[in-house]
Structure 1
Amino acid sequence: MKLTIQRLTSLTTQDRIDLTKVWPEIDISQLEAQLSETQRMYAARFNDRLLAALQLTIQGAQGKITQLQVREVTRRRGVGKYLLEETLAQNSALAEWWVADDGADEQDIRAAFMQACGFRAQGDGWTR
């Protein structure tokens, strides 16, 4: 089965289980209740399982991405980059992008990843 990037507007029981593995520290039910046209969630799905996800807040022509995470067992396979690229493509009307530096990952690895995706460092995150 092919890896697909989807905007999630409601979650199945399996989605909730998978997202708990992506974001163990986040209340998934509360997050789902906040989803709207300006508060979005995108996820990478493979074989009916979510492997990675991010949150997108839209303010005018700016997209702010937070909580970009890939499950530990899936890292270093291009899933995060594909998730980020497809999220940008699916929201092509947005002119400015900012990605929060809110990951617990090693900073040098995260910085290399963001640069490979075409972003440049800016204080507490990356812009494009």
Structure 2
Amino acid sequence: MPVSVEAVTEPSQQDRTDLVKIFADAPSWLLAPHADAAALIEAGLADRSLIAGRFNDRLLGAALLQRDGPHWCLSHLCVRAITRRRGVGRRILEESQRLAREAGKELHLAAPTDHLEAQALAARAHLPLDII
């Protein structure tokens, strides 16, 4: 599946619909500290940290990529339930790592305390884990 990863800065109406569908599948802990999916999306657009994986003109996964500070931080990574296990999340993660390397920065993964799935992902990707 050739998934392209891009910064989402001026989403079309279809992109907005896709983003809502992506984060509608997210567990509540993934949305924190945002009140809901809409707030997370708007925050990502406002600070220009929203990135997404696109396939055939549709967004299938998204995350926030904070590019300020001593290192970059990837958080809120979510893929639509119907599309999971097809490499979309991995593609977003790999592209984030590549971009960080190009900028001379280390990429960290951010996740809530004691979240085993995020700890496992960070270990598999050889990324430091920041607790949020």
Q: Residue by residue, what CA displacement relative to the aligned partner does 1:60-108 show, whole Å, maximum 9, x if unpaired?
A: 4411222111111111222111111112212321422221114xxxx44
**Rounded Cα–Cα distance in structure 2 between residues aligned with 1:64 and 1:118:** 14
**1:65/1:98 contact within 8 Å kept:** yes
Structure richer in helix, relative to its length: 2
- Residue pairs, 1:43-82, within 5 angstroms: 43-82=52-91
Structure 1 gap segments, 5+ residues each: none
**Rounded Cα–Cα distance in structure 2 between residues aligned with 1:62 and 1:121:** 12
**Rounded Cα–Cα distance in structure 1 between residues aligned with 2:62 and 2:104:** 19
TM-score, normalisation: structure 2: 0.74
Task: Tell me the residue number matched to 2:27.
Answer: none
Name the SS of the counterpart of 2:49 in structure 1.
strand
Corresponding residue pairs, total: 119
Kindly report the root-mean-square deviation, in angstroms, between the aligned alpha carbons of the 2 structures: 2.6
TM-score, normalisation: structure 1: 0.76
- Residue pairs, 1:33-48, within 5 angstroms: 33-35=45-47, 39-48=48-57
Deviation of the 1:6 alpha carbon:
0.9
Task: Tell me the residue number matched to 1:17.
Answer: 17
* Structure 1 position 86 matched with structure 2 position 95: yes
% same residue: 31
Structure richer in strand, relative to its length: 1
Task: Tell me the residue number matched to 2:38.
Answer: 27
* Structure 1 position 119 matched with structure 2 position 130: no
